[in-house]
């Protein structure tokens, strides 16, 4: 299995993440399915797939 990383500017992901503090952004949790990321301190949820393909939309 290959591993890697992707760097996406916060402002491209969501307005909430762009405005969030370092602490708020770094409290991210991977969803149990592995297909989403949740930031509990700012109540933000994003799907991983759209982030990778440049179409990120907040689910909230």
Q: C-alpha 13: how far from its chain's center?
A: 7
Q: Which secondary-structure segment (H or E) carries 29?
A: strand 29-30
Give the pLDDT confidence of 17-47 residue by residue, as tens digits: 999 999 999 999 999 888 999 999 999 999 9
Question: What pLDDT does residue 53 have?
Answer: 78
Q: How far apart are CA 5 and CA 52, in angstroms?
A: 10
Total-model pTM: 0.74
Mean pLDDT of 46-51: 86
Question: What pLDDT does residue 36 have?
Answer: 94
Phi and psi angles of residue 48, each rounded to the nearest 5 degrees, phi first: -70, -45
Rounded (5°) CA angle 1-59-3: 10
Given pLDDT bands bounded at 50, 70 and 90, which one contains residue 60?
A: low
Question: What pLDDT does residue 55 have?
Answer: 56
């Amino acid at each position: 299995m290959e591993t890697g990383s992707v760097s996406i500017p916060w402002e491209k992901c969501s307005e909430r993440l762009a405005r969030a503090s370092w602490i708020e952004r770094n409290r991210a949790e991977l969803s149990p399915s592995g297909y989403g990321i949740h930031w509990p301190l700012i109540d933000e949820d994003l799907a991983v797939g759209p982030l990778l393909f440049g179409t990120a939309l907040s689910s909230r």
